Amino acid sequence: MRVKGYTKHRPVSILIDSGSTHNFVDPRVAKRTGCKFETTLPLKVTVANGQQVRSDAVCKNFQWVMHGSEFCTDVRLLRLGGYDVVFGTLWLETLGDIIWNFSKLRIEFCINGKRHGLRGAKAGSVHSIGRDKMVKILKKQGHGALTQLYAMIEVQKTEPLEPELSDLLHEFQGLFNEPTTLPPARTQDHRIPLQPGTLPINVRPYRYPYKQKKEIEKLVREMLQNGCCAAKHQSFFVTRDTVYSRSWKDHIQHLRATFQLLEQHQLHVKRSKCTFGQQKLEYLGHIISEQGVATDPSKIESMLKWLKPRTLKALRGFLGLTGYYR
């Protein structure tokens, strides 16, 4: 729930999040309000997109005001996205019994016998305004931003294919179509066997960002409608094949045999993930060509520009990469 607050008479945007274990303040706010921090052991924090960031400082007795009431707690230093301060369960636990009405965006609780109520801010709507009104707003506020939206289409540069290869791809173009049915029954269908009578496992769902969750639901819905997956179980086939030939004539024959085998077993290929007729290619961090196998130059450049490891984990990662290419 988003709440407007103040710290040292400066407005801050506050998020009260029961999904966050700790309390955090953005470094910009800490610097602006003169907060004094103490260095602590690093704390790994998993944010909404699944990435892990580190917080290694804490501010003791951070004070702020919400709806006329003063509060105080410890907060950790962490770069935040759309908010200045986040208060999680570490602060919520100190409030005792809480009445939280999500439809009205209101929290009620008691501290030392005094009743407090916080009302969340509702998301503002976006609407268009005319030029004259915009000029008046800019004169009052003194600043603004001008943005323009463009529809952008990524254009991938592709080299022209040899006629023989182009004809072969056209002949087996059905392999590159999106599947619209369930795969046929295989001798070894992948599934997770359960004990007879096992009930569905009750686990907390993954926390995806809204946009990613919406896209996942869209893709699953489309696959269910097309019939290429079922609600009970599915079979997935993920592979990466390399067809190497000593001559162009042999290469066309090898590709044809590969396509026929895929077609026979009703397997599909994603065209955008494939490259054909290449003189060299990258595979597992190496470059394979007619000269043999060589280390990918980009990997060498990464090792040369690697920052000095400051933790044991970072050192192991560096040694693992360099040891792989020894």
Contact in structure between 92 and 39 (CB atoms under 8 Å): no
What is the model's pLDDT at position 234? 44
Whether 233 shows a pLDDT value over 50: the answer reads no
At 9, list the tokens.
Answer: 């008479």
Binned at pLDDT 50, 70 and 90, residue 49 comes out as low
Contact in structure between 280 and 289 (CB atoms under 8 Å): yes
- Cβ-Cβ contacts under 8 Å for 121 (sequence gap 6 or more): 2, 3, 4, 105
Higher pLDDT: 158 or 319? It is 319
How far is residue 35's CA from residue 7's CA, in Å, rounded to a whole number?
10
Give the number of C-alpha atoms closer than 13 A to the C-alpha of residue 62, restricted to the C-beta side. 27
Model confidence, pTM: 0.41
Share of the chain above pLDDT 70, in %: 84
Binned at pLDDT 50, 70 and 90, residue 228 comes out as low
Higher pLDDT: 210 or 324? It is 324
Share of the chain above pLDDT 90, in %: 15
CATH architecture of 2-119: Beta Barrel (2.40)
Longest dimension (CA), the chain: 87
Whether 143 shows a pLDDT value over 60: the answer reads no
What is the model's pLDDT at position 83? 85
What is the model's pLDDT at position 235? 42
Closest CA to 277 of 250, 257, 297: 250
Least confident residue range of 195-209, 226-240, 257-271, 277-291: 226-240
Residue 33, number of CB atoms within 10 A of its CB:
19
How far is residue 88's CA from residue 75's CA, in Å, rounded to a whole number?
10
How far is residue 92's CA from residue 14's CA, in Å, rounded to a whole number?
14
DSSP 8-state assignment for residue 139:
H
What is the model's pLDDT at position 275? 85
The full set of domain ranges for the chain reads 2-119, 281-326
Residue pLDDT, tens place only, 77-133: 988 877 899 999 999 999 989 998 888 889 999 888 888 888 888 766 666 777 788
Mean pLDDT of 4-32: 89
**Which of 192-196, 197-201, 311-315 is the most confident on average?**
311-315
At 250, list the tokens.
Answer: 């042999």
- Cβ-Cβ contacts under 8 Å for 321 (sequence gap 6 or more): 299, 302, 303, 306
- For residue 10, the one-letter residue type is R
One-letter-per-residue 3-state SS of 88-133: CHHHHHHHCCEEEECCCCEEEEEECCEEEEEECCCCCCCCCCCHHH
Mean pLDDT of 296-305: 84
List the Cα angle 47/48/52 in 5-degree steps. 30
Higher pLDDT: 240 or 73? It is 73
At 326, list the tokens.
Answer: 């020894």
Mean pLDDT of 183-187: 77
